Amino acid sequence: MSDRRARERAERHQLIIRTAREIAEREGWDAVTTRTLAQRIGYSQPVLYSHFANKEAIVTAVALQGFEELFEATRAAFSVDSLIRAYTHFALGNPVLYEAMFTLNTELKFGPDAPELLKNTFATLQKVFAPLAGDQDPETFTEVAWSAMHGLVTLTRDSRLRDGLGEERVALLVTLLGSAP
d(CA 77, CA 127): 9
Percent of the chain whose predicted confidence (pLDDT) is above 90: 90
Which long-range contacts (C-beta less than 8 Å, at least 24 apart) are formed by 161-165? none
Per-residue pLDDT of 89-122, as tens digits, reads 999 999 999 999 999 999 999 888 999 999 999 9
Average pLDDT, the chain: 94
Q: Is the pLDDT at 181 greater than 80, yes or no?
A: no
**How far is it, in rounded angstroms, from Cα 143 to Cα 138?**
9
Name the burial class of residue 84, with classes exposed (0-12), middle (13-18) and buried (19+) by CB atoms within 10 angstroms of its CB.
buried
Is the pLDDT at 23 greater than 80, yes or no? yes
Cα distances from 144 to residues 133, 136, 138, 140, 147, in angstroms, run 10, 11, 10, 6, 5
pLDDT tens-digit map of 153-166: 999 999 999 999 99
Asked if 61 and 17 touch (Cβ cutoff 8 Å), the reply is yes
Average pLDDT over residues 27-31: 96
Q: How much is the average pLDDT of 44-64?
A: 94
pLDDT for 19 equals 97
Which ranges of 75-137 would DSSP assign to H, the alpha helix?
80-93, 95-102, 116-129
Check pLDDT > 70 for residue 21.
yes
**Better-predicted residue by pLDDT, 58 or 4:** 58
Residues ≥6 apart with Cβ < 8 Å to 110: 118
How far is the C-alpha of 115 from the C-alpha of 119, rounded, in Å? 7
* 3-state secondary structure (DSSP) of residue 15: helix
